[in-house]
Structure formats: C-alpha cells, structure tokens
C-alpha cells in the first residue's frame, strides 16, 4: 500500500471535501484538524505520509509549530500550504513549503500540485 497524503485543516468541511477529492483520484488520505493531531499521525500512523496539505492558522498547534516539530524529529516531507490569508506565498517560503494553494482553489490546481510532488502518483482511480 502506498504512503498516504496527510491533510491538516481546522475547518471540518474543507478537510472532508479535500480528503474526498483526493480519495476520488485514488490517493490514500489521512486527516487531522490541527498540527498536534497531524504530529500524532506522523509519529504513530501505520505509514509515514508522503505529502502534507497544511493549513496555517489553526488552534492548538498551527502550521509553523507543526513544521518546527517535524524538523525537530528529523523528518523530511513534502508540504503544500493551503491558506486563505493574503500572505500565503510568504508563509509558504517561511516554512520552505514545496507548493502553495491559496484558498479558494480549483480542484485541478490541487491535483496538479499533488501529482507534481508525488511522481509515483497512481493512475486515475477509474482505470
């Protein structure tokens, strides 16, 4: 089984729809509603995620704190920042993200970025 994509967002609707969209394309997905839950998945999940789709402003542990904790663990992982803030690009640079999705984004854009970062992307689920 391939490594999942971890989606972290405090908005339950966005979390559910993004997960559903990735699932529709055949990507395995795990979700978390904040950075702390995200770390939990990184630490204890059955498989280490291949990619993180990361919201920045979240309660408990935000995007910056999550990334700091990931680096402290010596883990290296591809990250795409998803945020509605005007500072999206600056924040993405701050945490050395590999991609940025400014909310609201198109599904095609999401898929394009995911497939760019996961070269071993599965073929379309339908085939």
Partner 1 sequence: MSGVDQLQYLSWFVYLLVFALVLLRTIGRPTPAHIDMTLFFGALALIVVLGLAGRLGLRLPGPVTDDVVAIAALALGYLLLRVVADFSRVSAFVMRAVEIGMLVSIVALVITPAPLPTPTAMVVVAYLVVVLGFDGFAFARQAARSRGGTRRRMQAAAVASVLVAVVLVIAGVQLAVPQFSPALQDLSAALALASGIGYYIGFAPPTWLRRAWQEPEVRAFLSRAVHLAGLADTRDIVEELERASADAFGAPAARIALWDADKNCLLVDGSPLPATLASAWSRQRPSLMSLDLAKVENEQTGSFGVHDASAALSAPITAYARRIGLLIAFAPRSPVFANSDLELVQLLADQTAVILESKKLIDQAAEVRAREEATRLKDDFLSSAAHDLKTPLTGIITQAQVLQRRAERDPEAPPDRVGLNRLVEQSHRLNKLVLELLDVSRLEHGSLVGDCELMDLGLLFRVVAQQERSRWKRVEFHASESVVAPVDPPRFEQVVTNLVENALKYSPAQATVRVELWRDGNEARLSVLDEGIGVPAEDQPRVFERFHRGKNVDDRHFAGMGLGLYIARGIVEQHGGRIWVESTPGAGSTFHVAIPASISHVEEPVQRVS
The binding site for partner 1 (CB under 8 A) comprises: 11, 13-14, 16-18, 20-21, 24, 56-60, 62-64, 84-86, 103-107, 110, 126
Q: How many CB atoms neighbour CB 66 within 10 A?
A: 27
Residues 21/87, Cβ–Cβ less than 8 Å:
no
Burial class (CB in 10 A: 0-12, 13-18, 19+), 123: exposed
Judged by CB, which is closer to partner 1: 1, or 124? 124
Residue 52 CB, shortest distance to partner 1, in Å, is 17
Judged by CB, which is closer to partner 1: 1, or 40? 40
Residue 113 CB, shortest distance to partner 1, in Å, is 14
Residue 46 CB, shortest distance to partner 1, in Å, is 26
Judged by CB, which is closer to partner 1: 69, or 84? 84
Alpha helices in the chain (DSSP H): 12-24, 35-44, 63-72, 88-94, 107-117
């Amino acid at each position: 089984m391939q490594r999942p994509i971890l989606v972290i967002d405090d908005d339950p609707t966005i979390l559910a729809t993004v997960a559903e969209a990735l699932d529709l394309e055949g990507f395995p997905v795990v979700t978390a509603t904040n950075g702390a839950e995200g770390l939990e998945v990184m630490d204890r999940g059955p498989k280490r995620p291949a990619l993180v789709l990361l919201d920045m402003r979240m309660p408990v542990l935000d995007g910056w704190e999550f990334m700091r904790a990931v680096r402290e663990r010596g883990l290296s992982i591809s990250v795409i920042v998803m945020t509605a803030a005007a500072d999206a690009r600056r924040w993405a640079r701050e945490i050395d993200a590999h991609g940025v999705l400014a909310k609201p984004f198109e599904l095609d854009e999401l898929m394009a970025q995911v497939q760019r970062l996961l070269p071993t992307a599965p073929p379309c689920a339908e085939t």
